[in-house]
Amino acid sequence: MLPAENRKQKVPAGDIVAGMAENSKKHEMMKLRLQNIGEAEFPYLFFKGEVSPPHLIFMHGTGFIPWLWQPVIEEISPRGDAWAPFICNYRKCDPEKGGLAWAVVAEDLARFCRIQKIREPLFVGHSMGATVSVMACSLFGLKPRGLILIEPIFLPEEFYNGSTVVQDHPLASKAIKRKNSWKNEEEAIVYLKSRALFDGWDEQMLRLYVEYGMQKQKEGHLALTFSPQDEAAVFMGGRKTSPWPLLGSLTCPALVVEAAETENKKYVDVKKIVAGLRQGSYKSIAGAGHLVCMQKPKEIAGIIKKFNREIT
């Protein structure tokens, strides 16, 4: 949980729900598109720029949704086209049978980029999205002009040795038990605001999460778009390939962003990641935790704009 001085004044749940309709009008949310990549239909959002290239790719973290990148992209106002894939249940994988391997996602991402004719993109990845971006470039031949790795998931080497079951995985075991039913949007907002995970979130991000991260079921209640079963499957797939040996093969400039209050400090050695990169640099963001992209979207946008100018 963030320190009290870094928490924003809370907005009543009813006000957030009322603002969701206004948010939909103000921001023309892109419909999820599908790209056939041979073995699967790869889902993504597309943001049309003034010119093409320069290209940008935004990769979200496990359990979250690509729509949460929109406020960041709007703040950046990139000249070139941008894509935000949705890494969720586009491939059906059983968490009890090893889940969805991140290297498989990375290969699918590389295939998607070639089909879409995405050239020398700047990758912006958060959490799992950062690690998958590294894999796509190192293992499957993508040539980025730069990488921004926000709170990347690089766990200790021993994590990638051997196998485990869902109940013994530190993240999958929690994900599969996640609450997944709310009567309506207001009840969902009240619940989210009571959870430490959503502490300090930007209000617009919270609206987008409820509006696009939850779906109305035929019975009338809301359930998560990224279901607990799917989230656990993605977490389980994260241990199949160690990203550590891949860092030295990346030749482009890479910025590693760490949140000062991140809960991952005890697991992820960010300075070691930077040291393993050929052109690595480091940036810390004060007053934010692991979900820094949702807590400080304008600051994240500013970092992206600055880095993009430096490498373009």
Q: Break the chain into its structural domains and give their ranges.
A: 10-311
Q: CA-to-CA distance for 210 and 214, rounded, in angstroms? A: 5
φ/ψ region of 120 (left if φ > 0, alpha if ψ in -120 to 50, else beta) reads left
Check whether 99 has a pLDDT greater than 80.
Answer: yes
Fold of 10-311: Rossmann fold (3.40.50)
- Write out pLDDT tens, residues 140-197: 999 999 999 999 999 999 889 777 899 988 889 999 999 999 999 999 999 999 999 8
H or E stretch covering 216: strand 214-216
| The model's pTM | 0.90
Task: Specify the pLDDT at position 199.
Answer: 86
Identify the residue whose tokens are 């994260």: 238
